[in-house]
Amino acid sequence: MAVTPAEGIPKSDSASLPVVILAGNPNSGKTTVFNALTGLHYKVANYPGVTVERKESELTLGEQRVKLVDLPGIYHFGGHSLDEQIATAALLGTVKGASHPNLVVCVLDASNLERNLYLASQLIDAQIPLILALNMIDLAERHGVSVKVELLSRKLGIAVIPLCAAQGKGMRELGDAILKALAEKPVAPRTGAWIPESCCYHKVAMQQGSAYRLKHNYQGPVSDLLLGSSILSASLTDHRGQLRAADEACVKELAQDGIDPLSFEATERYRWINKLIKETTSKQDTAAKRRSDRLDAIITHKFWGTLVFAVIMFTIFQAIFLWSSYPTDLIDRMVQLIGNWVGGLMSDGILKSLLVDGVIAGVGSVLVFIPQIAVLFFFLGILEDSGYLSRAAFLMDRIMRKFGLQGRAFIPLLSSFACAIPGIMSTRTIPSFSDRLATILIAPLMSCSARLPVYTLLIAAFIPSQMLWGIVSLQGVVLLSMYVLGVAAAAVISWILKKTLLRGEPTIFVMEMPVFRRPALIAVMRDVWDRIVLFIRSAGTVILAISLLLWFLATFPRGDVEHTFAGRIGQILEPVIQPLGYNWEIGVGLLASFAAREVFVSSLSTVYNVQDNDSGYHSLLEVLQNKHAAGSFTLATALSLMVFYVFACQCMSTLAVCRRETGSWKWPLVMFTYMTTLAYICAFITYRLALNFWG
């Protein structure tokens, strides 16, 4: 998979600032270092043309302004996933339009130095100005690993800074070291004295004097492993012929010596690392290490691990529904107060109707759901940061494989419960394209937070709030079953996809399981905040716009609701949706929510408020409960509607992200078609069944 060269990063005053890149293995705590350096002041953007996330911040170190960039974590140069390719390209300055780094800070997990040094050794051989940050040094010490930092620094010939970024320890020293290194441009002596002259890509690259600047479309031949050269080779399109000749000569030479070229680089690098580790670190067993290992053994145990997993998942769903209900009620009441207050200030008329029924009712009923989103993202953040998610992937792999997926798909799919967009974007960590595509296509079947408003509203209005066996909320059970329904359908669909459209190369599931650690709460909270801001922003723009449009459609031409534009569209739709148990008002809501699901709640509230002749804001919940009591909105309709929302692909953003991630309109079209068909059929079945049982 070739990387599209990124075009046109906007130039600004900041273009002249020195660029410092944070590189490191996944789980090295790189992002924590980034947060500690920037004090959580950063911008999140994508690399232009691709959706690999790029966190960037400008900060002042001493007198010097610098631009700090956080890369996706990688284990080595090159690789198959887009994340790996972009990160490698950024390190080598081959991302078009982006300046090459003035300095790379390689963050290493001190408790796992041996493997973390692999990337560092490749960075050293690429001869980029470099310093090393030994993160989680306290955890390493507790686990009995002690590093002779000064000796390591002397051996390598570059600065090595011990850190504990989560507690802010060593950050000052790191800042000073960055400043010093920007001035001195320290380049460590190459590790690769073992590389035969003939296969030295560097030599070719250096001769041309522009190793960092070349395009990287080179499809590396057999030995692109040599010399960490996966990227160097990839960045040397212009020298393809030369490289291939050098490469063949090299492979031949190695073969003559009985050396397998594929394992050559890795073996030699680890030999170099081994020697370095022996000289500079010592290990001993500690109680903390034994405790952590024992905990890990339980968490990944066949039986106990599965039990813990189930309990964690169940807790999250109960928490979303029960714990967040208090702040939700509070916001709900405040929105009502504001609606009444504004309504009281104004005389009846178009403007009042616009404000109270359009703006406040529309946006207000979306804001109400912030607590649930916050709770969900909080749990996801904790699970990810503590290292639990990879354990979950380990536990789930065999089951996921039954449906043609893999354990790694679990994380994107779990994220999709919050929102399919980050979920789909995080599928980049899945190296196999067909696995990735299958995961993308079923991700929107995971009930996202935008469906929560619909579920919670309908559940609160139609499902009695009673306890089963005294401890389990019936409403919680119904909510959980909506999630289970989506998951079950996803399993079937992905199994079918992998048997038909997406038969592909077998997956690789070689996955690190990081040491359990206490999650960095501040970083998790910052992430929760980022998500809330994003949600409010979309509530404030897209949803407000649609609310206003709907208010317009539902208000004009003035008179009976049936004769407004909305009423007419709803009536045209009615024959199509009647078999599902929906009237034209619901039709209006469905139509609106094809832009974004959460709009359903606001549009329904707009439609119903406008219908009501009383002035003031009416809680949609109350309106629905009244209609339920009056029999004009039945339980069967509510259930059918929830099932429709489980399956329907009513999110333009998801389709847009799918288009961007898959590179064609084919896949979003497949997604939209299969989901809408599924939604219609299943809602129909649900309605008929519900009518039979309770109707």
Give contact residues for another protein (rule: CB under 8 A): 75-76, 80, 111-115, 118, 145, 225, 260, 262-263, 265-267, 270, 283, 296-297, 300-303, 305-306, 390, 393-395, 397-399, 407, 431, 506, 508-515
Q: Is residue 339 a contact partner of residue 352, using CB atoms and an 8 Å limit?
A: no
Q: Residue 285 in contact with residue 144, Cβ under 8 Å?
A: yes
Q: How far apart are CA 32 and CA 21, in angstroms?
A: 14
DSSP letters for 451-470:
THHHHHHHHHHHS---EETT
Q: Strand locations in 280-352, DSSP E?
A: 281-283
Q: Which two tokens stand for residue 466?
A: 């009673």
Compare residues 225 and 546 and give the one whose CB is closer to another protein.
225
**271 contact partners, CB below 8 Å, separation of at least 6:** 194
Query: Judging by beta carbons within 10 Å of its beta carbon (0-12, 13-18, 19+), is residue 406 exposed, middle or buried?
Result: buried
Return the SS3 of 124: helix
Task: Please give the structure tokens belonging to residue 14.
Answer: 């900041």
**Residue 57: strand, helix, or coil:** strand
- The two three-digit tokens of residue 552, written as one number: 């317009």
Please list the residues that pair with 473 across neighbouring strands.
467
**Nearest partner of 523 among 70, 24, 51, 141, judged by Cα:** 70
DSSP SS3 for 654: helix
When computed from its CA atoms, the radius of gyration of the chain, rounded to whole angstroms, is 28
∠ at Cα 547 (552, 51), nearest 5°? 135
Q: Which is nearer to another protein, 350 or 399 (CB)?
A: 399
Token readout for 677 is 């068909």
CA distances from 571 to 78, 358, 683 (A): 57, 22, 19
* Interatomic CA distance for residues 252 and 385, integer angstroms: 46
Min separation Cβ 305 and another protein, Å: 7
Q: How far is the CB of 160 from another protein (least distance, A)?
A: 18
CA distance 353 to 350: 5
Nearest distance in Å: CB 485, another protein: 23
The H-or-E segment that residue 145 falls in is strand 145-147
